[in-house]
């Protein structure tokens, strides 16, 4: 049995390297497209929201924030109305602070 010549061995090595290069090129293209898709603004926002939703306790904090915001608006409407009096505005600010502190503690 003859050993293959140097040129035949060289051709086999070149062929193997070309196949490897093609496979790596395809993988590189796939990775590039995945990175491109993940960096689109819509996908960045979506992934950020999904990560934030996965944080335990965030929904409770958001609920408290919304409740405090609504209670502050109600307090302004009830106590101040359209009154330009500085004393009333000061009282409303004081009531808002109390409500905010109560909501934060719960």
What pLDDT digit, counting tens, does each position of 38-97 carry? Answer: 888 888 888 888 888 788 887 777 777 787 778 777 777 776 666 667 777 777 778 778
- Predicted pLDDT of residue 80: 64
- End-to-end distance of the chain based on CA atoms, in angstroms? 87
pTM value is: 0.42
Give dist(CA 46, CA 69) in Å, integer: 25
Give dist(CA 52, CA 62) in Å, integer: 11
Give dist(CA 12, CA 58) in Å, integer: 60
Residue 26 backbone phi and psi in degrees, to 5? -65, -45
pLDDT at 26 over 80: yes
- Predicted pLDDT of residue 66: 82
Query: Quick one: pLDDT band at residue 20, thresholds 50, 70, 90?
Result: very high
Q: CA gyration radius for the chain?
A: 33
């Amino acid at each position: 049995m003859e050993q293959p010549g140097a040129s035949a061995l060289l051709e086999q090595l070149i062929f193997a390297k070309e196949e490897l290069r093609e496979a790596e090129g395809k993988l590189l293209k796939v990775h590039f497209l995945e990175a491109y898709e993940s960096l689109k603004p819509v996908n960045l926002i979506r992934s950020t929201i999904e990560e934030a939703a996965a944080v335990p306790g965030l929904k409770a904090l958001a609920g408290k924030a919304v409740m405090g915001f609504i209670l502050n608006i109600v307090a302004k409407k009830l106590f101040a109305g359209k009154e330009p009096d500085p004393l009333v505005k000061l009282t409303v600010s004081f009531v808002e602070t109390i409500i905010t502190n109560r909501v934060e503690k719960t």
